[in-house]
Structure 1
Amino acid sequence: MILDAARLAFFNLFARETRSVLVKVLGVTILVLIGLWFVLRGLFMTFLFPWIAGFFPEIPDWAGWLSFVFVVLASIGLALGLALLLSPVTALIAGLFLDDVAEVVEKRDYPEDIPGTAMPIGPAITSSLKFLGVVIAGNIVALFLLFIPGVNLIAFFLVNGYLLGREFFEFAAMRFRSPQEARLFRAKHASTVFLGGLVIAAFLAIPFLNLLTPLFAAGMMVHLYKLISQRDLGFHRST
């Protein structure tokens, strides 16, 4: 069941219906990073560069080209620094489009089922920030165990598996149930959700591909929710 959900979610990432979501996520991410670069460069040129130049008041005119080289190198350094923000920024932006992915999955693979209800923009932003916080918090915990041989890798998967599984399964469930009922449903199937979270954690550990983690996780948990719901028809549904 879990592997089926993961397989379907992975192929859905590259389906024709999902490409528009990918384009939006990557496009907005690039625009945000470019905007950050201009803002940081402006702050550097306005405040930091004059302060640094104050330490070298006696530079002769013939060495003025050094200032130009320094500015160019600083701009490149800022760009490289922003590259480190690529993953969290992508995660934050992708979190705003989780419902788009869920809708694609539901229409593509469950056309006969009643479609879920998308979250309003406010809760969607909150969900996006929660995902970012979950990833950061989980990896901070794993970082503390970094120097314990063998434990750090296990901690990474256990912490991220639990947190990511919980967040994304409840996201999928809340498209069809009340928040309280979604949490109860997740708790009832906690072991299955945790195993699904481990798959997401493994996806998160793959360089470059992990930029798509929120989209993969959303699709996978929609599939997992559907599969579990089909087996647990007796669970009370809110009206």
Structure 2
Amino acid sequence: MILDAARLAAANLLSPASRSILWKSLGLTLLILIGLWFGLESTFSNLVMPWLGSFLPGLPDWAGWAATVAAVIAGFGLALALALFVAPVTAVVAGLFLDDIAEVIEQRDYPLDPPGKAMPLGDAIGQSLKFLVVVAIGNLFALMLLIVPGINLMAFFLVNGYLLGREYFEFAASRFMSPAEARRLRSRHSTTVFLAGLVIAAFLSVPLLNLLTPMFAASMMVHLYKRVEQRRGRPG
């Protein structure tokens, strides 16, 4: 059930019906990340580098080389910081396009089922901010465990698997039931949802491909929700 939902979600990424959503989601994500890069670079150049420069006068001849090494390390640090922003940024973008993605899948793959109900714009923005907070907290927690050998990678998958699985499944279910009912349904199928979240976390861990995480996760959870309901003997 999980692998089948993942296969269908991957196929949906490049389907003609989803192409416009793909470009809008990808374009907005890239714009936000580019803005963050320039913001981080400007902060480093205008605040950090002058502070480091204040220590250079009077140092030996190798101080210039030390500054060069520091600049290279800083470049890697900026790249790492930007990489850590990918998950929260994609979470923000997700809330703006999830209903569009879900509607494409429901109309194409489940035309005989009752259609889902899209969230109002205010709720969509709230959902987007909720995704941001949840994913940011999860990745901050995983980042804190980076200093513990053998646990950091496992922490990334466990934390993101739980959080992403929970949020995206409840989103898919909330198109057909109240948020409270969606939470209860997710709780009854918590193991399945968590395992599906691990697949999303694996997708998120792949550079560049992780920019498409919102589309993949939303698509996968719509298919998973439909299969859960079919097992219960109910149409989606």
TM-score clears 0.5: yes
CA distance in 2, matches of 1:144, 1:87: 16
Amino acid at match of 2:180: Q
1:37 and 1:201 map into 2 onto residues whose CA distance is 23
Q: Which residue of 2 aligns with 1:64?
A: none
The code of the aligned residue for 1:233 comes to G
> For the Cα contact (< 8 Å) 1:26–1:90, is it kept in 2?
no
Q: CA deviation at 1:233?
A: 2.8
Displacement after TM superposition at 1:129 (Å): 1.5
**SS of the residue 2:233 aligns to:** coil
Partner residue of 1:68?
Answer: none
Runs of 4+ that moved beyond 6 A: 34-38
Structure 2 unpaired stretches of 5+: 54-74
Larger-Rg structure:
1
TM-score relative to the length of structure 1: 0.76
Structure 2 residue aligned with 1:25: 25
Residues 1:155 and 2:155 are matched in the alignment:
yes
How far, CA to CA, are the matches of 1:143 and 1:3 in structure 2? 28
Q: Secondary structure at the match of 2:94?
A: helix
User: Cα offset for 1:131?
Assistant: 1.6
Residue in 1 that maps onto 2:107: 107
Report the CA distance shift for 1:89/1:154 in structure 2 as closer, same or farther (over 3 A): closer
Report the CA distance between 1:142 and its aligned residue.
1.1
Separation of aligned partners in 1, 2:170 and 2:133: 16
**2:14 is matched with which residue?**
14
Which residue does 2:231 correspond to in 1? 231
1:122 & 1:172 partners in 2: Cα distance?
Answer: 17
Aligned equivalents of 2:136, 2:13: Cα separation in 1: 24
User: Sequence identity of aligned pairs in percent?
Assistant: 64
Q: CA deviation at 1:123?
A: 1.2
Which residue in the other structure is 1:120 paired with? 120
Instruction: State the secondary structure of the residue aligned to 1:186.
Output: helix
- Does the alignment pair 1:195 with 2:195? yes
The corresponding residue for 2:140 is 140
| Partner Cα separation in structure 2 for residue 98 and residue 108 of structure 1 | 16
Deviation at 1:37, TM superposition (A): 7.9
Deviation at 1:125, TM superposition (A): 1.0
Aligned residues between the structures: 206
Query: In structure 1, what is the equivalent of residue 70 of structure 2?
Result: none
Distance 2:12 2:184 in 1: 28
| Greater CA drift, 136-145 or 113-122 | 136-145
Q: Which residue of structure 1 aligns with residue 172 of structure 2? A: 172
RMSD across aligned positions (CA): 2.9
Give the partner amino acid of 2:175: R
CA distance in 1, matches of 2:157, 2:35: 34
SS of corresponding position for 1:145: helix
Q: Is the 8 A contact 2:138 2:159 kept in 1?
A: yes
Counterpart amino acid of 1:153?
A: L
1:189 and 1:88 mapped to 2: Cα distance? 26
Structure 1 spans left out of the alignment, 5+ residues: 56-76
Counterpart of 2:232, as a letter, is: D
Write out per-residue CA displacement over residues 130-149 of structure 1, whole angstroms, 9 at most, x where no aligned residue.
22222211111112221222
Q: Work out whether residues 88 and 131 of structure 2, in 8 Å CA contact, stay in contact via their aligned partners in 1.
A: no
